[in-house]
Amino acid sequence: MHTTGTIVMGPSFWNAKVAPLTQQSDFLMHAFLATAASHLRSLLSDTWGPTYERMELHHLCRSLRLFQEALDTPNIPVHSLLACSVLLLHHSWKSCIVQNDSKEQDSLLPLASGVQKIIWKVKKELDPAFIDLWRICGPTGSVITYANSTDVSHKLENDLLSQYKQLSPCISAPEDKTAFLSAARNLIPVLAILRILPSFDPNLAADIESDIQAYLFHWPAKSDEELRRLFENHYDAAQLLFLYYYDAVLKLFPVHCWWAKTRAEALYRDIWQKLKGRCGIKLQEHLADNRPM
């Protein structure tokens, strides 16, 4: 599969609307080439892995340097800037270092929210052809519509709140609970779809596959303020939400989304190990299935 068919927004967006911009923006061209090299590296790791890794790093370094220079220019090419930002966010997904003793926030938060802020900042300058970028800023209506067609959303919210209480210290700030519920409600639509997948019409599922990917891709930015608060004040609660988040990514992103698998698997496993025995919490009863650890 061509690389543009494996990243969020799909080939129709990247091939028809973004690829022509590479002729005017070198930083975007290098971001494209870095993404393609990274994709080939994932496919041919046993034979050409080192070669494509060098190509990826070369183009990524060039893209980052030129991207930074473009940010400092008076007339920023906004569409190229946005497309490059989204491509670089895919690279951030692929880069994952698990630090077992770390209490830092998930590194996706500042990066995803940065892309969202750029989109909001240049909103009035966006060409109509780039309206698809709003799918990254959500909400994605089709996902919410399908989720609301089920009766599991309320149960999911109660399940998450119950687990929050099990993880909470005796004294937990009301603001932390509010932040948790807000971020959880943003995640519940995709969790609801997970619950109904066995009975989900395959044709409907195929129709909204790209919307589900965009919704999940955006969730860290959509819940940025709440998640930052939780990482600062109630780290375990933030990790609980990311456990469900990465579980959904592993189950709902197609196999060809090579850039998501490494991070999702590594952090899912890491968070599971941290939380599974905490406060008697029984995560197995709430996640859709148990993953081998």
Mean pLDDT of each 10-residue bin along the chain, 293 residues long: 83 88 94 94 86 94 93 83 88 73 71 75 71 57 74 86 80 84 90 72 65 83 85 88 91 84 88 75 53 43
223 and 98, same structural domain? Answer: no
* Shared domain check, 145 and 124: no
Question: What's the confidence (pLDDT) of residue 134?
Answer: 56
**Global pTM value:** 0.85
Answer yes or no: is 31 within a domain: yes
189 shares a domain with 120: no
pLDDT at 287: 60
DSSP class of 290: P
Domain boundary among 118, 136, 154: 136
Verify that 164 and 198 share a domain, yes or no: yes
Number of domains forming the structure of the chain: 2
In a domain, 291, yes or no: no
Q: Are residues 28 and 120 in the same domain?
A: yes
The number of beta carbons lying within 10 Å of the beta carbon of residue 222 is 21
Tell me: cis bond preceding 139? Omega within 30 of 0 counts: yes
Contacts 24+ apart (CB under 8 A), 57-61: 58/34, 59/30, 59/31, 59/33, 59/34, 60/30, 60/31, 60/34, 60/91
Give the gyration radius of the chain's Cα atoms: 19
Q: Has residue 12 been placed in a domain? A: yes
Residue span of the structural domain in which 126 resides: 3-136
Same domain, 102 and 193: no
118 and 243 in a single domain? The answer is no
Asked whether residue 276 falls in the same domain as residue 146, the answer is yes
Domain ends where: 136, 163, 184? 136
pLDDT at 204: 58
Q: Write the CB contacts of 199 (distance below 8 Å, at least 6 apart in sequence).
A: none
| Residue 255, CA distances (Å) to 74, 90, 93, 252, 273 in order | 41, 15, 15, 9, 24
